[in-house]
Structure 1
Amino acid sequence: MRDGEGPVLIGIAGFSNAGKTLFAEALVREAAERGLRVAYLKHDGHADEAPDDWEKPDADTARAARAGATVTMVASRQGFLLRSRQAGDFPQWLAAIRAVADVDVVVAEGGKRAAHAKIAVVRGAADFHRLLEAGARGIAAVVSHDDGPGRFPVPAFRPEQAADVLTWWLDAWRVGTLASGHRVDGAKG
């Protein structure tokens, strides 16, 4: 399943309220049902511009961070939650997942301008073109609520086809067709 560089990466991009999270959840569920070990990565673009509110202000880890810790962890025998206040982007986030988890698939939601291949979740062709105009890169497939195949320059699926999308993505990953020559990029900006 995994290539020499790590787990299969399934990127998901789109505008707010397009259905990205629901589709990501469906992909995670489908992959897990197939026996694959799955990680989910969510880019919180809102926290890029403003202080995040991921922790309660009085939590022990928040107090340690205010005291100077750049990495904090809440842990139990059941698992852990790792928090880093170090700057980074998709390559660093994926490296962190690889360092702490042995997974087959990473479903990464957000980061429309990141270089990795991704699925655009859009309401229709107009949203797809707006996404490209907003600088989206690496679009290899589309999940559209309103428009079907033939309206997009890449393979198109409906939201209820998560199983088909996962099969297509895994096959494309294995044979290398998710390389940049098989993806659509928007305007550079």
Structure 2
Amino acid sequence: MDQVKPKGAGKSSFELINTNIFKQMLPIRQGGVILDLACGKGMYSVFLSQLAGPSGLVYAVDLWEEGLGILEENAREKKIDTIATIKADVTRQIDHIEAHSLDLCLMATVLHDFKEMNADRIVLKQVRNLLKPGGRLAIVEFKKMDGPPGPPEHIRLTPEETEKMVTAEGFKKVKSADIGDYNYMMTFSSPG
């Protein structure tokens, strides 16, 4: 298999966060429809599927086929049938998800990568189109400090940089919090 592993693939910030604070920040109801954008191995996807319950749906989208395979195997072992994996380059187009159908989109420690690739505006516009009016975008990022864990400090985003980038695409900030020693989280409401 000649597949190139996308930048950052294989690592997850999920093990670094306080899941109680993370859960409190998310407006997830039973039956919610959620997108885990650039999900990697899907540790967040599995957690989100538990919050949305058996009537919910989590789209787990990534370009990294091996990571999606790991997620599918993990979901089978845990008897989770509410996660739909989609292989897609989210900097181009996300097919298979209807416009204005999502209650929530999670971008966990990936916005800095999109920014570095100059694809942040494209991705945020797609997310805005997929979210229901008033739907939520949740962003987890690494605090702007020296690592590890996480990416080099020079590509990390401060909360102010994240807020400016996201609100420039029409989103409104709802709240923010530290969710561990290394990460912060911000939630935004989509226009409409």
TM-score bucket of the superposed structures, by smaller chain = 0.3 to 0.5
Q: Of the two, which has the highest radius of gyration? A: 1
TM-score normalised by L of structure 1 = 0.36
